[in-house]
Amino acid sequence: MLQLTKPLILASNSPRRQQLLREAGFEFTVKVKDTNEDFPNTMPAIEVPAFLALKKAEAFKEELDNQIILTADTIVVVDNDILNKPKDAIEASLMLKKLSGRQHQVITGVCVMTKEGTQNFVDIANVFFRELTNQEIEYYIKTCKPFDKAGAYGVQDFIGMVGIPRMEGSYFTVMGLPVHRVYDALQPFFKIQ
């Protein structure tokens, strides 16, 4: 395990973020606070994930002592529209049809907060979908139930495996945590062996 000088708290219920952080070698605990995820209508899409990640971290500000709080938020953007988590199968299907045969952006915002300071940044990946058939979309929604995923898909799931011929940027950003950027942000807290 990578040793840090302060305890790391991942403020996310996302099993994918937890898996990525664990596989990168970090020891952490998970603690989540309900946070209002509203943002100003006029805010450019590229700023939304960092804004929300910071909002999630600030929920811990009052009780922050000697810990590092790590938060993240991921959005999918196509035609300047933000595709959030779908409410149901109908909305998921509409989102996937909108992404089918096109390029879109996945933007993940990250916040690393300590008592001493805050780092807040975004990482962007361009994702290219091939044309998806109605049968593939239906099968995916029925078997993977992507209702907890922005844009109604997980790059690591069936639809990502068969429907994404290429991407520009980090696979892990699309999964929800740009591990390379998180690693860099946490480096000042690495214990010298």
User: Among 101, 100, 95, 97, which Cα is nearest to 82's?
Assistant: 95
Residues 6+ apart with CB under 8 A from 177: 14, 16, 17, 20, 21, 72, 108, 110
Do residues 107 and 124 touch, judged by C-beta distance below 8 A? yes
Query: In whole angstroms, what is the distance from residue 179 CA to residue 57 CA?
Result: 18
Do residues 175 and 149 touch, judged by C-beta distance below 8 A? no
Amino acid, res. 183 = Y
Residues 6+ apart with CB under 8 A from 92: 86, 141, 146, 147, 152
Residues 6+ apart with CB under 8 A from 190: 2, 3, 4, 5
DSSP codes of every residue in 44-57:
-GGGHHHHHHHHHH
Catalytic residues: 73
Residues in the chain: 193
